Structure 1
Amino acid sequence: MRATDTDLWHRLADYVIGPADAAFTFAQRLARENRWSGDYAARAIHEYKRFCWLACEAGHEVTPSDAVDQAWHLHLTYSRDYWDRFCPQVLRRPLHHGPTAGGTTERTRYYDQYAQTLASYEAHFGQVPPGDIWPDARRRFLVDPRAVRLNPADVVILTRGQAYGVLAAIGLALVALVATAMF
């Protein structure tokens, strides 16, 4: 039986996070806080629900992607919704979020656990997890942890290509300036 055929999945699929009368929805807040499009935030919420299904049914500890973890962290701030409605009525069990203790052993444990989560996702949902939300374990644990969250009001953010273009333009301007000064 596929995950999407289970009662748990139907409860998860029907569940809307947060108060029904909120003017600023959970999805809108998730998008704003992460600088995501509304579509990407909706997809991350869908994947968060799949992660929750796996947490309950995979038969092993699971580890979320960073995007899924962002949805989970935000959901935890809706504490009444999370603990009074989501866990008892939808999951029908508590789902605690525990941080890593750090170090090589923990990194290896979470790396392996995440790889197993991806394999279980594919086995239970019958498809490969979307790579833009669920990157491979190497990316999740070796590349992405180097990322930092920035407030764009405080910094100028350029892609690597844009930065190279700016540096090339500055270099050409300096060459032109030196050439002009020499003549």
Structure 2
Amino acid sequence: MSETHSLLATPDHPVWAALSPYIIGPQDADLPFAERLARDNGWTGAHAQRVIEEYKRFCFLAATVDHQVTPSDAVDQAWHLHLTYSRDYWERFCPEVLGRPLHHGPTAGGGAEQHRYFEQYADTLKSYEQAFGAPPPADLWPSAARRLIDDPRARRVHPRDALIIPRRAVRPLLWLAGAIAVVHFLYW
């Protein structure tokens, strides 16, 4: 571990000391940030809390490493939602917690941009491990290939607009359909 990164995430680092206790949004909201994040993404409250912790770690990296960083999709969902709390984000979080602005820049598209973000995300994963002493949790921070090649093919679907059948349920349904077809063929 390099000397620069070995001290980054210590509790006495000023950015981490400000990030750790930070709670996003108004404290008296009927729908607090964590609950809204969970609701909007179909996550449990515990999962949303883990994502918020990883969002804080991402923001720590963004404020302290010497390269641009790219979030995982889950972390990006927390960042997008936080940006909608614009007063909290721009008037409290960036100046008081991070000590600097943190802008969200989407890709311009194309092969060069995909390559740049691929490298940036891989560097983010490396910096995470250096700063926090362990690799990021794989369920919240997938590999660069999955994050930037496979996952962008996905679409966010609202359950009221589509019937969603998990892949693990498809095989038994196909087996059942096949059994019904055989019975139908044999007896009708």
Q: Same fold (TM over 0.5)?
A: yes
Residues 8, 64 of structure 2: 8 Å contact kept: no
Structure 1 outlier segments of 4+, above 2 Å? none
Aligned partners of 1:175, 1:142: CA distance in 2, in Å?
40
Q: 2:56 pairs with 49, 59, 63, which one?
A: 49
- 1:179 and 2:179 correspond: no
Aligned partners of 1:161, 1:49: CA distance in 2, in Å?
33
Aligned partners of 1:15, 1:85: CA distance in 2, in Å?
10
TM-superposition CA deviations, 1:18-69 (whole Å, max 9, x none): 0011111000000000001101100101110110110011110000000000
Number of aligned residue pairs: 181
TM-superposition CA deviations, 1:150-171 (whole Å, max 9, x none): 1112222112231121122111
Structure 2 equivalent of residue 9 of structure 1 = 16
- Shift of the alpha carbon at 1:4? 3.0
Aligned partners of 2:166, 2:23: CA distance in 1, in Å?
35
- Scaled by the length of structure 1, the TM-score of the pair is 0.96
Residues 121, 129 of structure 1: 8 Å contact kept: yes
Aligned partners of 2:60, 2:89: CA distance in 1, in Å?
15
- Kindly report which structure 2 residues correspond to 1:78-157, keeping only aligned pairs within 5 A, or say none: 78-157=85-164
- Secondary structure, aligned partner of 2:17: helix
TM-superposition CA deviations, 1:57-102 (whole Å, max 9, x none): 1110000000000000000000010001101111111100000000
Mark the runs of 5 or more structure 1 residues left unpaired by the alignment. Answer: none
One-letter amino acid of the counterpart of residue 117, structure 2: Y
TM-superposition CA deviations, 1:106-161 (whole Å, max 9, x none): 00100010000000000011111011111111110111111111111222211223
Residues 2, 126 of structure 1: 8 Å contact kept: no
- Secondary structure, aligned partner of 2:146: helix
- Scaled by the length of structure 2, the TM-score of the pair is 0.93
Q: Percent identity?
A: 57
Mark the runs of 5 or more structure 2 residues left unpaired by the alignment. Answer: 1-6
Aligned partners of 2:186, 2:168: CA distance in 1, in Å?
27
Aligned partners of 1:47, 1:177: CA distance in 2, in Å?
53
- 1:23 and 2:50 correspond: no
Aligned partners of 1:39, 1:131: CA distance in 2, in Å?
16
- Secondary structure, aligned partner of 1:3: coil
- Secondary structure, aligned partner of 1:14: coil
